[in-house]
Amino acid sequence: MENSSSWGNSPVGFRTLWVTVAPVVQDGVQGLGLPLQVFFCVAMVCVLLLAFLGNVVVCVMVYRRAAMRSAINILLASLAFSDMMLALLNMPFALVTVLSMHWVFGTAFCRMSAMFLWLFLLQGAAVLLIISVDRFLIIVQKQDRLSPGRAKALVAVSWTLSLFLAFPLSLGFPSVPAPPRAPQCVFGFALERGEQAYVVLMVLVFFFVPFSVMLYAFVGILCTLRRNALRIHSAFGSDSGKVRLAALRRPFHFNIDMSFKTRAFSTILVLFCISAVCWAPFVVFSLMSSFSGEFYSSADFFQISTWLLWLCYLKSALNPLVYYWRIRKFRDACLSLLPKRCGLLADVSGPVRRRIRPSTVYACGDHRSTV
């Protein structure tokens, strides 16, 4: 009987194992090998489930609980809705394409998929821009103008403008080549000036302009917070009793209000950093694929596009984790959804504080206490 170990050393067995594990080359494009396919399959499924289920919870919380329908929560719900739709209408098809290296959903849906991708990306950037400007007006300009009604109007305007900019992709302008060159219908190498101008416009509106404004707003907010902290420190560090007494009387209500808004600002700053890290490589990739024929025709284009596209998708999965980590109301609402049998977690809805009115006189007897 032939030893089974000789199969791996035989030329036929070696070629079969190499074809299975090594990257597949199709139409001049090098695909993913078996280890990378397994890795991406597991990672994509985790990202897809977390992005969909986590953002569904955010939308349901804001919709069902009247106490959470503040202006900023409405904007965060719109951001969660765009991330949820991105997980529903883009990620599953990109996952199938990564595994098969072939787009099996037709040319028409390829154009629609590209439109959905940029629609949800533009909407997410617009919401972050609105929230950042609102924090700038509150902390720096001392103007709190964003009401729930205005937030809803801004959400409607941002969705309309995003759809207006992304809709030409569904009509085939610019032409979006179907995979296998990429796991998702993305911008290809453009020869016409009009198509190149459209790609530049989308990149400017989606990334460079909003993130420049947000960076300016965050720098202004940080400078204002630092200046206020130094002012309070110098007031409390003064030897004058009058200055210290005035500092105690004057900024008490202001400090409480600013601490809440500063924490909300830090949450938006975390979202901004995550979006910048996840979206910036995809933006550079889109520009290079549209303006560099050599880069678009390279054999490693499929692998590069797969890594950068799913890094872009990762942002949608990280946002719900940031909400749970930074927003106490959202964390308490999530815990309240747990079954009652999980009493250790479901009953803990936050710190319990006893409200005492200074004007109330408490008389305590031996057997009873009365007011």
- Where b means 16+ CB within 10 Å and e means fewer, 295-313 reads bbebeebbbbbbebbbbbb
| Residue 208 CB neighbour total at 10 angstroms | 13
Q: Would residue 342 count as lying in a domain?
A: no
pLDDT of residue 37: 79
Is 180 a domain residue? yes
Task: Say how many CA atoms lie within 13 Å of 355 toward its Cβ.
Answer: 0
Residue 15's alpha-carbon distances to 19, 24, 26, 299, in angstroms, are 6, 13, 17, 21
Q: Is residue 19 part of a domain?
A: no
**CB 159 within 8 Å of CB 152:** no
pTM of the model: 0.78
Residue 75 lies in a domain: yes
Tens digits of pLDDT across the chain (371 residues): 444 444 444 444 433 333 334 455 554 455 566 787 788 889 889 999 999 999 999 998 888 888 788 898 899 999 999 999 999 999 999 988 888 878 888 888 999 999 999 999 999 999 999 999 999 998 888 888 889 999 999 999 999 999 999 999 998 888 888 777 788 888 888 878 888 999 999 999 999 999 999 999 999 998 988 887 787 767 655 545 554 545 445 444 444 344 555 667 788 889 999 999 999 999 999 999 889 888 888 888 888 888 999 899 999 999 999 988 888 877 877 777 665 545 444 444 444 444 444 444 434 444 443 33
Q: Which residue has 């809709």 as its token pair?
A: 167
Torsion over CA: 285, 286, 288, 289 (sign): positive
Question: Does residue 114 fall inside a structural domain?
Answer: yes
Decide if 184 is inside a domain.
yes
- Look up residue 334 and give its two tokens: 């999530």
Q: Say how many domains are in the chain.
A: 1
Cα 148 to chain centroid distance, Å, stands at 22
Burial group, residue 111, by CB count within 10 angstroms (0-12, 13-18, 19+): buried
Closest CA to 56 of 340, 319, 307: 319
What is the C-alpha to C-alpha distance for residues 29 and 186, in angstroms, rounded to an integer?
Answer: 16
**CA angle, residues 56, 61, 64, in degrees to nearest 5:** 115
Give pLDDT, residue 77: 93
Cα separation, 36 vs 357, in Å, equals 64
Q: What is the CATH number of the domain that holds 122?
A: 1.20.1070.10
- CB of 261 closer than 8 Å to CB of 135: yes
Please report, as a single letter, which amino acid is at residue 79: L
pLDDT of residue 61: 87
Pair of tokens at residue 346: 């479901």
Query: Are residues 61 and 76 in contact, defined by beta-carbon separation less than 8 angstroms?
Result: no
Which residue segment(s) compose the domain that 280 sits in?
24-337
The answer as to whether 369 is a domain residue is no
- Within a domain: 360: no
Taking each helix axis as running N to C, give the angle between helix 252-291 and helix 209-236, from 0 to 180 degrees, rounded to the nearest 10.
150
Residue 10 DSSP one-character state: S
Q: What is the pLDDT of residues 317-338, one digit of tens each?
A: 999 999 888 888 778 777 776 6
**In this structure, what token pair is assigned to residue 121?**
């990306």
148 C-beta neighbours (distance < 10 Å), count: 14
Predicted confidence at residue 100, as pLDDT, reads 81
